[in-house]
Structure 1
């Protein structure tokens, strides 16, 4: 029977210290006295501890794990599948191998450590897409390796984060409608579902307030279920705006389908703008005007940050990298002036 791998928490329990202290000592990070550092290293050696990635494929430069919650993947293509593809390309350029792990809802709820982490198969971990803070705290305590948060920001963690420019992107999309003469503009997105959707909402508010336009509660429209994040048909308001800005292109596509089903033409009667420049399951034939996310650049930034951390080239505090995109004209916006 194979011997169970020694974890950082095992060493911490033996010495009566925290897992973070053990991790810092073994990585020669600041904040640990030399005396305690030596005790930790001696105990690690006695217990047969092996740093992540040293037992498996030792000659490989870096082995990176990618963790994504199941709800983000859907039944087919999705934004995160595309982002993972870009990440694979970016990591291959640095002679890295990726291990992909899907986090099940019950595993997230019960804070189950991914096998690729507990078995020391990887050197670093990229968490792609926002997950619960309880699970992230468990990873911070138990993983014992560098981490990157991709496509979400968590200020309470000292971790590198790479995100798209959600605030400015949605500000740009909303301003585009305003410049086209629209004054009655609704926002479609479940604001409490994620920080990214909330940041985009605040970008919408910034543009509306800058131009002195009316904000209505009925024009803030839910677009997905809580928990599963499944996109639903937005409920059209009684007092219709002349335009909608949507937190993602998939929502924009579903909205256009709903508008057409209710007798509205896009863009002749109503204009629609999206975000992402990616629709994984199109349900309309209209080319959507959108703020395009630069996925290759996001993937490149994430790959460079995690490799730098794994190789010990950067031991400073976590950094936030904000990647800008650009407005892409489609056929879903009509000028009123």
Structure 2
């Protein structure tokens, strides 16, 4: 019996993804006219039987697109941050008449590089990946050929559009705020191996010190600090000298630093100032409330959907990295250095 020619056969012949073949044959946007022509030529030469099933008819009538949102179980658990981005993605897609499919990736799937089931079970037109999973796992998703946009993550090894916070400039502005209050002994605390964002915030911290002629004190840079009260307490106890201000990479670190300093008898901000990043719930419920860099999470989601829609229509354009601005929110946890110890 003669083998029936499939889309995968065409993809293998042209060394492109099956999804690109599907887009080309169904008339969907997302592939260039040259690719569409090559696919149709290969299909004819191989004897591919064009089908006029329901899926193709929907494509021909501009049926709503299906978008997948994928994240690790851990990222989905961070509801105060990524939860807000997810809600804005959901609303933006609904406003555009598009359908949203969601799947969380557990540790086993990440380790074994098992692709999300929804990519097999549904005709997915575009993928949004929320935060980090693993470089190998994200690369495997990108290699499906389905247009993909990364949200709050990027890597030199991942060739996909990214929507990012301008972490360097945001951290620069936060540390500049502390310097302009008269502080020169400024500590940095955060685990830079946890996220590229935290490495970029360390870069911004160092840029601000350099701009104002302040030599970084290596005793004040805690770039591998875990987000636990035990570790924050230990590093503050073992400091040979005490910083007059702390810049923390996120709300969790900022809340812990403020709490531990107060437990050890330091007055915030009278004796020491604290500034952090993200403007999450912890910075708002702390006493005193913590000065922070605000991220517009709703705009994050909107911009990700907008970029994915553009990418679907412009699949062969170069990869884009889009940096979103932050805003300094000054609260009660920072004070002028000249007022200290009066």
TM range (shorter): 0.7 to 0.9
Give the distance between the partners of 1:197 and 1:50, measured in 2 at CA.
Answer: 49
TM-score (norm 1): 0.83
Go from structure 1 to structure 2 and tell me whether the alpha carbon gap of 1:35 and 1:175 turns closer, same or farther (over 3 Å shift): closer
Deviation at 1:132? 1.5
Deviation at 1:125? 0.5
User: Where does residue 72 of structure 1 map in the other structure?
Assistant: 75
Give the distance between the partners of 1:44 and 1:197, measured in 2 at CA.
Answer: 53
Q: Which runs of 5+ in 2 are unaligned?
A: 25-29
Give the distance between the partners of 1:294 and 1:249, measured in 2 at CA.
Answer: 15
- 1:27-75 deviations in Å (ceiling 9; x for gaps): 543775955652257769549799999889x97522211111122233x
Q: Which runs of 5+ in 1 are unaligned?
A: 1-5, 226-230
User: Where does residue 121 of structure 2 map in the other structure?
Assistant: 119
Give the distance between the partners of 1:258 and 1:53, measured in 2 at CA.
Answer: 61
User: Where does residue 3 of structure 1 map in the other structure?
Assistant: none
Q: CA RMSD in A?
A: 3.3
Go from structure 1 to structure 2 and tell me whether the alpha carbon gap of 1:48 and 1:186 turns closer, same or farther (over 3 Å shift): farther
Q: 8 Å contact 2:283–2:292 — kept in the other structure?
A: no
SS in 2 for 1:73: helix
TM-score (norm 2): 0.82
Give the distance between the partners of 1:217 and 1:161, measured in 2 at CA.
Answer: 32
SS in 2 for 1:170: helix
Deviation at 1:89? 2.1
User: Where does residue 92 of structure 1 map in the other structure?
Assistant: 94
Q: 8 Å contact 2:244–2:273 — kept in the other structure?
A: yes
Give the distance between the partners of 1:52 and 1:186, measured in 2 at CA.
Answer: 58
Q: 8 Å contact 1:180–1:336 — kept in the other structure?
A: yes
| Pair 1:232 & 2:228 matched | yes
Give the distance between the partners of 2:325 and 2:47, measured in 1 at CA.
Answer: 44
Go from structure 1 to structure 2 and tell me whether the alpha carbon gap of 1:197 and 1:289 turns closer, same or farther (over 3 Å shift): same
Deviation at 1:176? 0.3
The structure with the largest alpha-carbon Rg is 2
Deviation at 1:258? 1.7
| Pair 1:131 & 2:127 matched | no
Q: How many residues align?
A: 321
Give the distance between the partners of 1:279 and 1:42, measured in 2 at CA.
Answer: 60
Q: 8 Å contact 2:132–2:153 — kept in the other structure?
A: yes
Structure 2 residue aligned with 1:266, among 241, 245, 268? Answer: 268
Give the distance between the partners of 2:306 and 2:89, measured in 1 at CA.
Answer: 10
Structure 1 residue aligned with 2:20, among 23, 30, 33? Answer: 23
Structure 2 residue aligned with 1:307, among 302, 306, 309? Answer: 309
Q: 8 Å contact 1:66–1:98 — kept in the other structure?
A: yes
